Structure 1
Amino acid sequence: MPIDVEKVTSAPPVRAAAVWDDRDVRLYHLALGAGVPETDPGELRYVFEGHERGMQVLPTFGVVAGGTGGVGFQVFDLPGVDIDLTAVLHGGQEITVHRPLPAAARAATVTRVPAVYDKGKAAVLVQESTLLGEDGEPLLTQRNQIFVHGEGGFGGDRGPSERLPAPDWEPDLVLEVATLRQQALLYRLAGDWNPLHADPATARRAGYDRPILHGLCTFGMAVKAVTERMLDGDAARVTGCRTRFAGVFFPGETLRLRIWTDVEEVHGSTRHLLTVTAVERDDAPVLTDAAVTAR
């Protein structure tokens, strides 16, 4: 079996360097659509290193810090994992922020696989990765779920349910966010070179009529929107965020965000629940079970 559960879960953590500077941060934010309008002081905080309040860094940048395309995906370097990337689907993402990310750092990541779940037709690799600052202390911890089609049915634990359904009342805010036709080509510069997001032939082999946008890009755009509209544009207030990737999104389409604010107090923080859909495809689900927690 391409996934040896005992071997991968008992393997020592993978440690890797994660080095970035403010150019990487600016490029990441631009790939999320930051800088529009180009004279907005709030938008300039994401893309202009000379802003009087300093450059702020969205916590989702920590997922691609160091140009890895996805901090935590070093799991594919672990013993016991030998899988076809065309069978892989990023199912969910959760980030816990320990302290705001700096605009430049010589950091490190430590990644392990605490569990592999059996979903019948698919196996789910649970990855946990901690981004350590230059002082060796955690900046953020992330957990993501990687679905591997065709690798389930080995008799393992199905895992816990982590659903976070949207409230059954009207959202406090509905907004639409346009994307560019070249959005995926921009986001690839963060380090995720999967041809599914650029090559039409690869996309067709995967069952899509054209390349799709990275799930982490739509997630980053959603977290940015909540930061701007609900947190006075202050990314340092974000203490955590999570989502389930529920469907594909094509570059050039429009995201529709439904946000429920002040739904629940969690350890002194406020949680904002949200869903994201594709406007042009009759609100087809894109992100579900999503939340941003903030001070």
Structure 2
Amino acid sequence: MPLDPTAVGTTSEPRTSSWHSKDALLYALGVGAGTTDPTGFELEFTTENTNGVTQKALPTMCVVLGGGLAGPDSPLAKIGTYNPALLVHGEQGFTLHKPLPVAATVSSVSRVAGIYDKGKAALVVLETEATDTADDQPLFTTSSSLFIRGEGGWGGDRGPAGPEKVPERAADHVVTYHTRPDQALLYRLNGDRNPLHSDPSFAAAGGFDTPILHGLCTYGFTGRALLHTLCDSDPTRFGAMHGRFSSPVLPGETLDVHIWEQADGPARFQTRVGDRVVLDAGTVTVS
């Protein structure tokens, strides 16, 4: 079998990476801030020199920081051989250990947290811990679950059960955001230059009529809805978020973020395009 389950626990060497005010502004625009906010232009996230406004970073920006998981030194390069065309992003989560600054330098270490046998596919879980070099304190932890079709069936551990489904009752809040037809072209400037999101011929080879939106772009739109609805737009109250990708989004489609508040435990969310669920089984922790 091409994958190597003994790669669990493999870690990368520490990687240093930085971001600046401009990066935070570009990320915010890439996930729709300003143009899709029905109450204003989210100037605290989209400008750095507005009178009386202090620039802030969107909490979900941490998923594009920390040096990434690609490259020959990444733990992903140590799990064995597989066809990258059969790899899909299954789930994404993060925890903020303190509010995300608009500019910082971090030292990040990634590891293979698990490789599970799902029968017809393998599930690889990668985690990254980022430490703020300014004070040597943890800044954020991210977790990505990757499904690799055709790489299961070796008789290994199937892994933990999936997250609980969202409540069956009507949502307490529904936030609607319209994505732009060129949303993927803007979002890709945050670092993910996969031609699936920009090249019509490449998308066609993957079975799509047109380039699709990055899953993490949908994730960022959803995070904005959660921030404004549950945290009164205050990023310092946003603690953690996790969701499962279930269907691709096309640039220009409308996202409806359904949010359920709960007396005990984290709030739940689900993002839909019409009746199609695109981000499922979501949880968010706020203070």
TM-score above 0.5, yes or no = yes
| Change beyond 3 A, Cα 1:287–1:194 | same
CA offsets, 1:260-291, max 9 Å, x none? Answer: 12x1434xxxx221111112xxx111000012
Alignment map for 1:117-132 (pairs within 5 Å): 117-132=116-131
CA offsets, 1:202-235, max 9 Å, x none? Answer: 1112111111111111011101111112211111
CA offsets, 1:56-80, max 9 Å, x none? Answer: 11221111126x5xx4456465423
The whole-number CA distance in structure 2 between the counterparts of 1:250 and 1:174 is 20
Coordinate RMSD, CA, aligned: 2.0
> Do the aligned partners of 2:11 and 2:109 also contact (CA within 8 Å) in 1?
no
How far apart are 1:14 and its partner, in Å? Answer: 3.7
How far apart are 1:12 and its partner, in Å? Answer: 3.3
Residue in 2 aligned with 1:189? Answer: 189
Residue in 1 aligned with 2:161? Answer: 161
The whole-number CA distance in structure 2 between the counterparts of 1:179 and 1:292 is 22
Instruction: Give the one of 261, 285, 291 matched to 2:283.
Output: 291
In structure 1, runs of 5+ residues without a counterpart are none
Residue in 2 aligned with 1:46? Answer: 45
The whole-number CA distance in structure 2 between the counterparts of 1:41 and 1:80 is 46
The whole-number CA distance in structure 1 between the counterparts of 2:193 and 2:59 is 21
The whole-number CA distance in structure 1 between the counterparts of 2:88 and 2:4 is 19
| Count of residues paired in the alignment | 283
| Change beyond 3 A, Cα 1:264–1:207 | farther
State the AA in 2 paired with 1:278: V
The whole-number CA distance in structure 1 between the counterparts of 2:170 and 2:36 is 29
How far apart are 1:94 and its partner, in Å? Answer: 1.3
Q: Are 1:136 and 2:136 an aligned pair? A: yes
> Do the aligned partners of 2:11 and 2:75 also contact (CA within 8 Å) in 1?
no
> Do the aligned partners of 2:182 and 2:251 also contact (CA within 8 Å) in 1?
yes
The whole-number CA distance in structure 2 between the counterparts of 1:118 and 1:229 is 38
Residue in 1 aligned with 2:80? Answer: 81
The whole-number CA distance in structure 2 between the counterparts of 1:36 and 1:222 is 15
With the length of structure 1 as denominator, give the TM-score of the two structures: 0.90
> Do the aligned partners of 1:42 and 1:233 also contact (CA within 8 Å) in 2?
no
Alignment map for 1:1-295 (pairs within 5 Å): 1-6=1-6, 8-36=7-35, 43-51=42-50, 52-65=52-65, 68=67, 71-73=68-70, 75=74, 78-134=77-133, 135-261=135-261, 263-266=262-265, 271-279=266-274, 283-295=275-287
The whole-number CA distance in structure 2 between the counterparts of 1:37 and 1:61 is 17
> Do the aligned partners of 1:256 and 1:278 also contact (CA within 8 Å) in 2?
yes
| Change beyond 3 A, Cα 1:31–1:161 | same
* Identity over aligned pairs, percent: 37
| Change beyond 3 A, Cα 1:84–1:76 | farther
> Do the aligned partners of 2:45 and 2:55 also contact (CA within 8 Å) in 1?
yes
| Change beyond 3 A, Cα 1:80–1:220 | same
| Change beyond 3 A, Cα 1:231–1:12 | closer
Report the more deviating stretch, 147-156 or 31-40: 31-40
State the AA in 1 paired with 2:270: T
Q: Give the 3-state SS of the residue equivalent to 1:265 in structure 2.
A: coil
Q: Give the 3-state SS of the residue equivalent to 2:94 in structure 1.
A: strand
| Change beyond 3 A, Cα 1:9–1:179 | same
| Change beyond 3 A, Cα 1:211–1:77 | same
The whole-number CA distance in structure 2 between the counterparts of 1:132 and 1:26 is 22
